[in-house]
Structure 1
């Protein structure tokens, strides 16, 4: 197609008709012609009964991101909040008379007295273990027979028993024996590293050491228990003779004797 003919055709082409709410459609419009052929007259309402709208439904472009009806909802909420704010007690109190103030204070005192009486009446139905308040005997009885309540009671009793037996004589003896075994284990490690063989003490010596290491009533009250004794470490000579064990000393560590 020739460019000149295209430009001539495009220039002679009628301009596009823009229809808005404010402007009416022209009689040359296809829709206008169709309605006119069906008996419609310009300026009359649509519909078979003739009770339709004459003007088109108005609209406006919404440029914000809020939902439909949000603006009217905000207006209603603001009006409701303002009306409630005007009726607050703080604002009414500034305008009340002396008699109204006395009536208000009496009403507050009566409500406080009623609440205190209710608390006193319901006090027998309060579970101190679970820290829960019940309203009647049935609710309180059902709670005290429940598993959750008994579980908390057992847990509380167990904690009390542990606190009572924490500092008993048996616990002190166990801690003492544990400390003695730990120190003896460390001593054996040192002797093994030095190439020294450590001989176990006789039963009588061990028993005497245990008896001497037990704290008396006065010493326990004064400063706790003392450390237990250790077995004597001896070495073998060239003729494989074993030296006699020495009596236990009060030192925390055994004496290491070198080879002859």
Structure 2
């Protein structure tokens, strides 16, 4: 890494080596109220998106699945009834602690919790049948490295699924959502979590994330084949998928 390398942090460009710590501080700040804020920001729709996402993953009995950036457990809890062996990973221990506490309350003791950096996973090659990441990859410093690691740890025939915000293509809706997200979401963050700045960053990070065609190209560049993009609400959210073959 060169000292001149930069990474996006919201609308700002910062030295790449600083992003991990600054994003980590954001998620430590919001961990306790993360799920409540998801309900408030999306008017509960994130639950429908995540349900649809898991139906696309189609977890199966006996499979090994890595749920990366899975912190509070939302995706893993939805996959757990399938009987798959699920490892929930996140770079942020505060987010994992929230997920572990939620799992204990729901008496879900079959999940594995592991602190991991998406860019440098400690798992061996060809270890998992599926890799999922929901609303997490845009916070990674080097997205290409995270995708390469996803490809590495998947078995041949393994599948990659990513749920992430994008840019809606619906005329008129984009302008309405932009106004809502930039003006109201930070206010919700202040009211509910006492933290407007963290949520301002989260909204800005969505705007800086590559569009659907560009991100699909990055997934292909990482070695995945049969890639697919499924827009939701015209592309406000998108499910990206690919196979290791």
Q: Does the TM-score normalized on the shorter chain lie above 0.5?
A: no
Report the TM-score when normalising by structure 2: 0.15
Greater C-alpha Rg: 1
Report the TM-score when normalising by structure 1: 0.14
Q: Which has the higher contact order (CA 8 A, sep 6+)?
A: 2
Name the structure where strand makes up a greater proportion of residues.
2
